[in-house]
Structure 1
Amino acid sequence: MKKFFKSLEKTACRFYPAFWLYHRLYKHVVKKEVALAHITGEDIVLNIGCGAIPFTALHIVQLTGAKVIALDKDPEAVRMAMHYLKKYGLDKNIEIRVGDGSPENLPPFTVALIALHIKNKEQMLKNLKTAGSDGGRVVFRQPVEEYRKEYGSLYNLDEAHGKVIQNMKTFKKSFLFVISSKESSQQRGGGIS
């Protein structure tokens, strides 16, 4: 399923009607996540796993005016996203970079939205807690049971600070986590010994 959607994005981004339709399918999802994480124009939003059609980044900018730094580990997807955003005049406030979300390469952020297809979600949450600052907000899309093996899953959902219900085939909930200064300093090695 992941490979199918990755291939579909790379094909759809070449044709504006398909690009627009694919992008449009996720507007209601991102709108709920923006409200959940209280994203405003003052935020710097990190979108990990943006793909060739960075629909999450586009909707965040359109809904809030925030600056978005979108990462994907696939250099071809990043190149295509940059090219087509510029071609369609949608590149305002969006910076696309090659990256996998490892803590040493994460730019400063106030909010992070993690794509469904990011496999090791538990490790990604640890990375973001390490790199983030006090009050940083992190949103994950949690796959439904039948897709958890393929997409990975979060297991410590009792640590979540909130959630929204989504009406998608592959995921039904988006969860919010808030970084505390205690967590981030312990993750960086500044905990009490």
Structure 2
Amino acid sequence: MIKKISRKLEKIFSESSLYFKIYAAPYHRVVKREIELTKKHGNLKPPLLNIGCGSMPFTTYYLARETDLEVVAVDQDSEMTDLAKKTIKKLGLENKITVINKKASEIDFKEYQAVYTALHLKNKKKVYNQFMETAPQGSRFLVREPRKTFKNHYEELNNNSVDLVKHRLVTFDRTCLYIKD
């Protein structure tokens, strides 16, 4: 139910750059803290990857804005990626952000040093395993994990993370960092 409501709101808000910025505002601090966590364990090198961007790619937006690096945004839903491309164009970031329609489990991570995943990502363990198989050594994988009250709505990776950062959002309370050995 939460995912369906979020999806509808995102489709509506993706029509306006003002609505996008209002909707995205609570995530600015989250993404800044995730960037700091990533940098704590090595330099950031382009391109960064955001998995599960949806039609409102606010994580992608803040990654590009805060790091000044190229960002690739991926979502498996073609309707969402079409809307995301329009949103990115409205924001004037089409030269910095590339939006791709693809299943996360099919990504070859060899060119990504830092991967940021959405809370709603499905098959987190499968995607994590794909990352561990194909990413370069030292690459970082960040996963937003649900609060206890939302564990029945969102998957939890729940491996032994190297580090984490805590958040005060309704649906998730932490981002866990994993590093490819």
Q: TM-score, normalised by structure 1?
A: 0.86
Q: Is the CA contact 1:119–1:150 (under 8 Å) kept in the aligned structure 2?
A: no
AA in 2 matched with 1:172: D
How far does residue 107 in structure 1 lie from its aligned partner after superposition? 6.3
Partner of 1:75: 78
In 1, the alpha carbon distance for the partners of 2:120 and 2:49 equals 16
1:115 is aligned to 2:118: yes
CA 1:61/1:52 → structure 2, altered by over 3 Å: closer, same or farther? same
AA in 2 matched with 1:8: L
For 1:114-153, list aligned pairs within 5 A: 114-153=117-156
Structure 1 residues 63-72 or 80-89, which shifts more?
Answer: 80-89
Structure 1 residues 42-51 or 83-92, which shifts more?
Answer: 83-92
CA 1:153/1:66 → structure 2, altered by over 3 Å: closer, same or farther? same
CA 1:83/1:16 → structure 2, altered by over 3 Å: closer, same or farther? same
In 2, the alpha carbon distance for the partners of 1:8 and 1:161 equals 34
Structure 1 residues 120-129 or 102-111, which shifts more?
Answer: 102-111
Q: Secondary structure at the match of 1:150?
A: coil
Give me the CA root mean square deviation.
1.6
Q: Secondary structure at the match of 1:139?
A: strand
How far does residue 18 in structure 1 lie from its aligned partner after superposition? 1.1
CA 1:107/1:95 → structure 2, altered by over 3 Å: closer, same or farther? farther
* Count of aligned positions: 178
CA 1:15/1:62 → structure 2, altered by over 3 Å: closer, same or farther? same
Deviations 1:16-46 (A, max 9, x none): 2211101222100000000001175633211
Query: Identity of counterpart residues, as a percentage?
Result: 29
Partner of 2:62: 59
Partner of 1:171: 172
In 2, the alpha carbon distance for the partners of 1:96 and 1:107 equals 18
Residue segments in structure 1 that go unaligned for 5+ positions in a row: 181-193
For 1:18-97, list aligned pairs within 5 A: 18-38=19-39, 42-97=45-100
Higher Cα radius of gyration: 1
